[in-house]
Homo-oligomer: A and B are copies of this chain.
Amino acid sequence: MTYCVGLLLNEGMVCLSDTRTNAGLDNISTYRKMFSFEVPGERVILIMTAGSLSVTQTTIARLQEAMDHDEATPETSILLAPTLLKVAELVGNTLSWVRHEIDEKLAMSQGAHASMIVAGQRRGGAMRMFLIYPEGNFIEATEDTPFLQIGEHKYGKPILDRVVRPETSLHDAQKAVLLSMDSTLRSNLSVGMPLDLAVIEKDSLRVGMRRRIEAGDEGFRAMSEAWSTALRDGFARISI
């Protein structure tokens, strides 16, 4: 499984994904689930993926092919698409096609499926973030719901529900997604280190900060322990 989370805040966007992929419990590997596409100063697009690796890899490869094609048009390339909404549509359509192709091959009732988070901004446009469902349709993050999650999303949702608001700072937002991931890592074996963290500042039109957090990362371990201590202390102080 997977856990990916994206925050759409007044100051910018924060995205975090794990890297664990498994086909059965004894075939666990590390795959990047976060992909960024930039035309610096013009647009930045970040895609995170969850679900069947065969579907997500093929979808990303198709999108890349369309971008690299000599005859790329605003109708086919997410780097040329006139709006972020159009980008989400392109990703959704590609995901839907790939899924159908693979489903036909598998000929199973419960075929391969995948979902994605697409976050980005183009010059002159607003920051936008979309969750693309396996069927290719999508929803968008809003002021009321400034975060989107895919994969094993439930363990890490309570902390986000409590602390993430549009006015949350990018610094606090990084803390929030890392603690949300920490709760997920502790409670679910199928989500694993290393992690990919990316921050896109509003109107910067590029991925400003990108960090891979490895399994032995001292800062992450310290934060995780500080959070455990804070939770236990808070728990001890509460009276019923």
On A, residues with C-beta under 8 Å from B are 152, 154-159, 161-163, 171-172, 174-176, 178-179, 183, 186-188, 219, 223, 226-228, 230-235, 237-240
Question: Is there contact, CB below 8 Å, between A240 and B228?
Answer: no
Copies of this chain assembled into the complex: 2
- Chain B residue nearest to A153 (CB atoms) is B154
Question: Is there contact, CB below 8 Å, between A163 and B235?
Answer: yes
Q: Which 5 A-B pairs have the closest CB atoms?
A: A230-B234, A154-B154, A158-B183, A157-B187, A226-B238
> When A155-B157, A186-B161 are in contact, do A237 and B228 touch as well, CB less than 8 Å?
no
Chain B contacts for A219, CB-based, 8 A: 240
> When A174-B240, A240-B174 are in contact, do A233 and B234 touch as well, CB less than 8 Å?
yes
10 contacts between A and B (CB under 8 A): A155-B157, A159-B231, A159-B235, A161-B186, A163-B235, A171-B240, A175-B235, A227-B234, A230-B230, A231-B234
Cβ distance A111 to chain B, nearest Cβ, rounded Å: 15
Chain B contacts for A226, CB-based, 8 A: 237-239
Chain B contacts for A187, CB-based, 8 A: 154, 157-158, 161
Question: Is there contact, CB below 8 Å, between B176 and A235?
Answer: yes
Cβ distance A51 to chain B, nearest Cβ, rounded Å: 18
Question: Is there contact, CB below 8 Å, between A175 and B227?
Answer: no
- Chain B residue nearest to A185 (CB atoms) is B158
